[in-house]
Structure 1
């Protein structure tokens, strides 16, 4: 089964949901905020559009989903207040894979828009309306018409590959680039990322308007070692847990076989 069909964050708003466990991602968005605001400021001041299209790629669900759009709209509002110009309309595209919990996002839109209108005050009239659209699909492909998006934003999403790289048969016992992974496995991951990111940039270049902007934040590492603990520790823990589960299931299966064989022998007696 393809990754695009099965990969998604845990939906809902419960204790184990992504919405309730995304403080690290919120921190990253906060750190990148000055860069995001600068991108929107330069875009708006150079083009002065009457309609602004913003696309958040890999939006997931929860409080972080609408955070960036809210901040960008406030940036434009401040510029318009300073220039004495009318606030444009906003079209916000929320993109993630089809399995994403879009329903939770849509249910939160009414309260979000109410809060946003209150924050914008008198500027949130007919010209300051904000429209939201869910866009299910992989960002490793075209998502929007040509020359239609003013600003692309993506945070903590582009480290996810479009598919499991080919040639990982020798990566026994691992689900990532571990210290025991042979060089061919590292090459496979590297080449898959190169293909994915090149395709991502090609698609976005066709969809951006002239002088459009992109703000992309994704997980990286300072070390040249691809198996460094700074980015692979969580995968090492997950791999250990999965290997232990497989071991326990295998033991249970073998015990079941032995039990069945004993039953057959007892029946023969």
Structure 2
């Protein structure tokens, strides 16, 4: 099955759902607020000339997901535009907001959340808002790496993820089992595996930029929030790298219990890549449609989402088990598709124990890249 058909956060509102386990993502979104505000100010107050303020502003959130965070970026954008309009004495522009994601996303949850969202807007007395929800739920190869919107209609694009399996490492490919015992790049991975991931990121990211270029008006902005890493070395133990390592170890534990076939681990390669700032710069410069305003790197603790009030369970989970729930909400759909549903509870229970042990010994952090881009004006 094509990976994009099974790649989505856990739907619904259950204990393992993304809706109940997305505090980390919420904190990461909050980290982008200052960059988001600057991008919008640049769009609305270009050269401090109010005559250039667009009457209609197009915004796209690519990879909007579902749950409590979905409309968080949109709400922040509306607040910034409203505040800027009031301070500048200009009319609130019409907003055209597109929320896009892969086919498996829980769009029903988004529809259910819209009435309360509009009530909140009315309470804020925000006027003249035209929201166009363009749910592009079609089975298209490469989705984010293809055209999604009409020519030159967007002023601001926000995206929180880019995912793809390296072409040479597909499940049915002869190279698929090169990365034995691992799910992602590891310090034991052969150079062919590492090069395949690096090459796939450069190809995908360049294609993504080329696809956005015709959609964004000249001078428009794009804000990327990507899980990344701090070093140019892709095998460095930071970011999400070691979470994949621990998940591979958890699966190996189930191999010893005859719950998982070892070959299944060998043939799984995560549709994920954590770039470093240098790799992002190279891709942007080579593609040529955008200028980099700024790249910032933030760190956030793995257990930043852990709260004594985060679960209704009678027995309070350990820190590692709560971190495991956060990861499960994001990766379970693709892991389950490959390994089967029957091992999920055992897998993430073992995984949580491994996380507990790891964070006891080391400081475990995510590395998040916030990249602010401007569409060249030519």
Q: Check whether TM > 0.5.
A: yes
**Counterpart residue number, 1:3:** 3
**Counterpart residue number, 1:130:** 131
> For the residues of structure 1 that align with 2:88 and 2:232, how far apart are their CA atoms?
47
Query: 1:179-207, CA deviations, whole angstroms, 9 ceiling, x for partnerless residues?
Result: 11111110000000011000000000011
Deviation for aligned residue 1:84 = 2.1
**Counterpart residue number, 1:202:** 210
On the 8 A contact 1:139/1:200 being kept in 2, the answer is: yes
**Counterpart residue number, 2:230:** 222
On the 8 A contact 1:168/1:188 being kept in 2, the answer is: no
On the 8 A contact 2:166/2:196 being kept in 1, the answer is: no
Please, which of 259, 273, 277 is the counterpart of residue 249 of structure 1?
259
> What runs of 5+ residues in structure 2 fail to find an aligned partner?
47-51, 169-174, 262-378
Deviation for aligned residue 1:250 = 6.1
For the pair 1:240 / 2:249, whether they are aligned, the reply is yes
Deviation for aligned residue 1:222 = 1.2
The CA RMSD measured in Å over matched residues stands at: 1.7
> For the residues of structure 2 that align with 1:59 and 1:202, how far apart are their CA atoms?
20
**Counterpart residue number, 1:259:** none
> For the residues of structure 2 that align with 1:103 and 1:242, how far apart are their CA atoms?
33
User: Which residues in structure 2 correspond to 1:9-158 (within 5 Å)?
Assistant: 9-46=9-46, 47-119=52-124, 121=125, 123-124=126-127, 127-136=128-137, 138-155=143-160, 157-158=161-162
TM-score (norm 1): 0.85
> For the residues of structure 1 that align with 2:54 and 2:15, how far apart are their CA atoms?
41
Deviation for aligned residue 1:245 = 3.2
> What runs of 5+ residues in structure 1 fail to find an aligned partner?
252-269
> For the residues of structure 2 that align with 1:88 and 1:69, how far apart are their CA atoms?
14
TM-score (norm 2): 0.62
**Counterpart residue number, 1:254:** none
Runs of 4+ residues over 6 Å off in structure 1: none
> For the residues of structure 1 that align with 2:27 and 2:86, how far apart are their CA atoms?
29
On the 8 A contact 1:168/1:185 being kept in 2, the answer is: no
On the 8 A contact 2:9/2:18 being kept in 1, the answer is: yes
> For the residues of structure 2 that align with 1:71 and 1:49, how far apart are their CA atoms?
19
Deviation for aligned residue 1:246 = 4.1
Query: 1:159-185, CA deviations, whole angstroms, 9 ceiling, x for partnerless residues?
Result: x22x34314431111110011111111
**Counterpart residue number, 2:190:** 182
> For the residues of structure 1 that align with 2:166 and 2:5, how far apart are their CA atoms?
13
> For the residues of structure 2 that align with 1:224 and 1:150, how far apart are their CA atoms?
32
Greater C-alpha radius of gyration: 1
